[in-house]
Amino acid sequence: MDNLPYTALIKFPDIIPEHCDEHIVRRLTSMRGQFADQPAYEQLLSNEDMLLYEVYAFIQPEVDGELDSGISIIHPGKVGQEYFMTKGHFHSILDTAEVYYCMKGKGVMVMETPEGDWNVKDLNPGMLLYVPPRWAHRSVNTSDSEDFVIFYVYPAHAGHDYGTIETQGFRKLIVDQGSGPQIVDNPRWLAPEDRK
């Protein structure tokens, strides 16, 4: 029997776990086509393939009953007016939820259902967020200077479906038009009935 209880130290102020099963690193190149302002994206990329976010993952077998957890760190920055964010996804097994706990920084979770309902929740340190089954989710760092650090836990058999979001993004974008974070419509987004 090798599936034993374990602990991990996730200590302030850095909140980087002392060990994990996988350290996922996402740079600008892995977000091609995801930011609304394509020229701004190309301009940034011509300087450097910047680090946008990292995930320190604790991974269990992909079976019903197990839980995966970890820490996501979204670094501060913008592509044009749009804040740095995660790719975002539906769970492949749509009827699976996720819990987030904000440990540091500030940001929002952008969410939507396959039917096109949307929701955006602010997150500050100490806040818990429950993402119900069926809601796609994307974390966005709305600070200009600080990392946005969130702990997550979700069913290990959930899987990740990035396809729909990659095609047209979320219905809402989080942008700074000069007065801080604002929710605006994504011009690329199509209602489910208008998609081919």
Interface with ligand F6R (CB under 6 A): 55, 70, 72, 86-89, 98, 137, 139, 152, 154, 160
Minimum distance between the CB of residue 144 and ligand F6R, rounded to whole angstroms? 21
CB atoms within 10 A of CB 173: 23
Q: How far apart (Å, rounded) are the C-alpha atoms in residues 92 and 97? A: 11
Structure tokens at 93: 């097994």
Q: Tell the smallest beta-carbon distance from residue 165 to Zn ion (Å).
A: 11
Number of helical (H) and strand (E) elements in the chain, helices listed first: 2, 15
Question: Based on CB atoms, which residue is closest to ligand F6R, 23 or 160?
Answer: 160
Interaction partner, residue 189 (Zn ion, ligand F6R, none; CB < 5-8 Å by kind): none
Residue pair 128/97 in contact (Cβ under 8 Å)? The answer is: no
Which residue number, 46 or 107, has a Cβ lying nearer to ligand F6R?
107
Residues contacting 55, CB < 8 A, separation 6+: 22, 23, 24, 26, 70, 71, 72, 73
DSSP 65: T
Residue, CB closest to Zn ion:
98
Question: Of 27 and 87, which has the nearer Cβ to ligand F6R?
Answer: 87
Binding site for Zn ion (CB under 5 A): 98
Query: Length of the chain, please?
Result: 196
Binder of residue 86, out of ligand F6R, Zn ion, none (CB less than 5 to 8 A by kind): ligand F6R
The least distance separating ligand F6R from the CB of residue 178, rounded to whole angstroms, comes to 28
User: Beta strands 118-123 and 148-155: pairing type?
Assistant: unpaired
What the block records as the tokens of 160 is 């990740």
96 binds, among Zn ion, ligand F6R, none (CB under 5 to 8 A by kind): none
Considering the complex, what minimum distance in angstroms separates the CB of residue 193 from ligand F6R?
26
CB of residue 157 to ligand F6R, shortest distance in Å: 11
